[in-house]
């Protein structure tokens, strides 16, 4: 008990240092303006949360929400002075079908864990007439650490090209796809929250969350005629000293060797009551595995294809479908030389799809399917209790169901826009996990043992 209290005290100390640094950063960002404190995008625009978010609680966006982000988070009411600050807090309860002996994490129980998932503070809104930001600092209640989280600072403007409207801009961000407008790419894709203490599959592509908060990227974008969206840029790994200053621990991470090009292309169309988009995105990176340079680098290419449809006729019913497929080609010359891969060439494929229905932007149900497949590699996917693979295969697949209740966030909501909340009940059922259905880890655990019931309360202020 004493060691747990000491761990949490030290985590709060580390968090205080990071929050101080983040606070100084916000002071720098806010220095050019003369404003008073108000909390959110909703207050800045004068619109209810439901105007931008399909559930009246993010991050899934409506067409209006995509336009707001595209234009740099700067739409506002010029007669109001404000500092667009906000906060969120997530708490949850997790039950897995089979317990995790020794505890889900060093400071939690083997099962039935109630935890503080995270506490986040945001600068979310306008800085200058054409410059806005989404800057998130997060305290991870399970890890006991605070760090700079999702960040997107952008300049945006409008003009014409070939007689048609053009919205163009530049994004400075710290995670590939954090700047994206669609809920099909990794950062903002479903599920928007998941259990931090339940087992999760071992394999993921580089673009699928592996670089978050470790990199800095600059991308330029343009949307022409509300039809064609094009974006391109590059990412670089932040120096280890900078990552530590921002609360990130770089040890063992995939370090980019120089610039990693990023691209995004989308065709979209908005009819009365209907919206559809078809796109592709990707990243091409030379990577030092585990920051180890002595054997040279690996080379990874990620290519994603995504499709989105929304039914949004303005009545009580909202519905939609999102699908994403990511193919990754891995040239593992460095990992093979270091003895961390059986082959010099592997591959990984990820597919996700979900459909949702929302009534009155208050009650929601989402059904999803996910699947990861790839090359069998016993050195990369080794037998380990719960988290490992006895077969050397990364294959995992299953279904996810989620029920949501969002009582606030509408035009007539209580304490609008100061209070919003999402209550969610999520169930994840695994058909295969890390390469197997039974005894997948080589230590007797079945995939169904990781089936997860997750109850979430998510408040925004």
| Range in 45-59, 256-270, 344-358 with the lowest mean pLDDT | 45-59
Q: Which residue has the higher pLDDT, 270 or 8?
A: 270
Report the distance separating Cα 43 and Cα 34, nearest Å: 17
Contact, 372 vs 350, CB < 8 A?
A: yes
Torsion-angle region of 105 (φ positive above 0: left; ψ -120 to 50: alpha; else: beta): beta
pLDDT of residue 1 exceeding 90 = no
Report the distance separating Cα 149 and Cα 135, nearest Å: 7
| Range in 9-13, 75-79, 126-130, 328-332 with the lowest mean pLDDT | 9-13
Residues 163-202 have pLDDT tens digits of 999 999 999 999 999 999 999 999 999 999 999 999 999 9
Max intra-chain CA distance, the chain = 69
Nearest one of 424, 455, 422, 366 to 88, comparing CA atoms: 422
Token pair belonging to 386 = 């719960």
Residues 419-430 have pLDDT tens digits of 788 999 999 999
User: What pLDDT sits at residue 39?
Assistant: 41
Instruction: Please give the span between the terminal C-alpha atoms of the chain, in angstroms, as a whole number.
Output: 33
User: What pLDDT sits at residue 34?
Assistant: 32
All domains in the chain, ordered by first residue: 2-460 (2.40.160.10)
Contact, 137 vs 6, CB < 8 A?
A: no
Contact, 386 vs 377, CB < 8 A?
A: no
Complete DSSP assignment for 140-163: ETTTTEEEEEEEEEEEEEEEEETT
| Range in 136-140, 287-291, 457-461 with the lowest mean pLDDT | 457-461
pLDDT of residue 112 exceeding 70 = yes
Residues 383-426 have pLDDT tens digits of 999 999 999 999 999 999 999 999 887 677 666 666 788 999 99
For 307, residues 6+ apart whose C-beta sits below 8 A from its C-beta are: 184, 276, 277, 278, 279, 321, 322, 323
Q: Could you tell me the pLDDT band of residue 231, with boundaries at 50, 70 and 90? A: very high
Dihedral sign, Cα of residue 252, residue 17, residue 146, residue 54:
negative
Q: Could you tell me the pLDDT band of residue 26, with boundaries at 50, 70 and 90? A: very low
User: What pLDDT sits at residue 414?
Assistant: 67
Average pLDDT over residues 271-277: 94
Element (H, E) at 72: none
Token pair belonging to 204 = 């993921």
Report the distance separating Cα 372 and Cα 252, nearest Å: 23
pLDDT of residue 313 exceeding 90 = no
| Range in 70-84, 87-101, 140-154 with the lowest mean pLDDT | 70-84
Of the chain, the percentage scoring pLDDT greater than 70 comes to: 89
Contact, 313 vs 270, CB < 8 A?
A: no
């Amino acid at each position: 008990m004493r060691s747990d209290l000491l761990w949490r005290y030290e985590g709060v100390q580390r968090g205080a240092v990071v929050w101080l640094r983040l606070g100084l950063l916000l002071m720098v960002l806010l220095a050019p303006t003369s404003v008073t404190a108000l909390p959110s995008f909703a207050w800045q625009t004068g619109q209810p949360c439901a105007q931008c978010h399909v559930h009246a609680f993010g991050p899934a966006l409506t067409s209006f929400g995509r336009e707001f982000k595209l234009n740099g988070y700067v739409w506002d009411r010029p007669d109001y002075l404000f500092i667009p600050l906000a906060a969120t807090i997530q708490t949850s309860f997790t039950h897995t079908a089979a317990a995790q002996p020794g505890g889900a994490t060093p400071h939690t129980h083997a099962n039935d864990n109630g935890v503080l998932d995270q506490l986040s503070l945001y600068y979310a809104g306008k800085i200058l007439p054409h410059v806005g930001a989404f800057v998130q600092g997060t305290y991870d209640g399970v890890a006991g650490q605070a760090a700079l989280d999702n960040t997107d600072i952008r300049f945006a403007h409008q003009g014409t090209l070939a007689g048609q409207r053009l919205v163009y801009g530049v994004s400075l961000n710290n995670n590939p796809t954090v700047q994206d407008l669609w809920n099909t790419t990794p950062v903002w894709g479903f599920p928007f929250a998941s259990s931090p203490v339940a087992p999760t599959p071992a394999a993921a592509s580089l673009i699928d969350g592996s670089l978050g908060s470790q990199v800095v990227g600059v991308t330029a974008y343009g949307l022409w005629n509300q039809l064609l969206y094009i974006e391109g840029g590059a990412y670089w790994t932040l120096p280890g000293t900078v990552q530590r200053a921002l609360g990130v621990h770089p040890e063992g991470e995939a370090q980019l060797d120089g610039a990693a090009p990023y691209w995004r292309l989308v065709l979209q169309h908005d009819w009365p009551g209907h919206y559809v988009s078809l796109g592709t995105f990707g990243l091409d990176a030379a990577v030092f595995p585990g920051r180890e340079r002595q054997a040279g680098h690996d080379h990874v290419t990620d290519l994603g294809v995504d499709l989105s449809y929304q039914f949004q006729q303005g009545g009580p019913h909202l519905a939609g479908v999102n699908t994403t497929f990511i193919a990754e080609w891995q040239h593992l010359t460095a990992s093979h030389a270091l003895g961390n891969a059986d082959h010099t060439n592997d591959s990984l494929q990820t597919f996700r799809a979900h459909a949702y229905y929302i009534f009155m932007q208050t009650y929601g149900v989402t059904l999803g399917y996910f699947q990861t497949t790839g090359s069998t590699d016993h050195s990369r996917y080794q037998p380990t209790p719960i988290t490992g693979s006895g077969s050397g295969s990364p294959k995992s697949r299953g279904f996810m169901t989620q029920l949501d209740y969002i009582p606030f966030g509408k035009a007539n909501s209580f304490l609008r826009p100061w209070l919003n909340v999402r209550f969610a009940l999520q169930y994840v059922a695994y058909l295969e996990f890390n390469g197997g259905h039974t005894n997948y880890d080589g230590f007797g655990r079945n995939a169904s043992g990781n089936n997860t019931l997750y109850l979430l309360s998510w408040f925004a202020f």
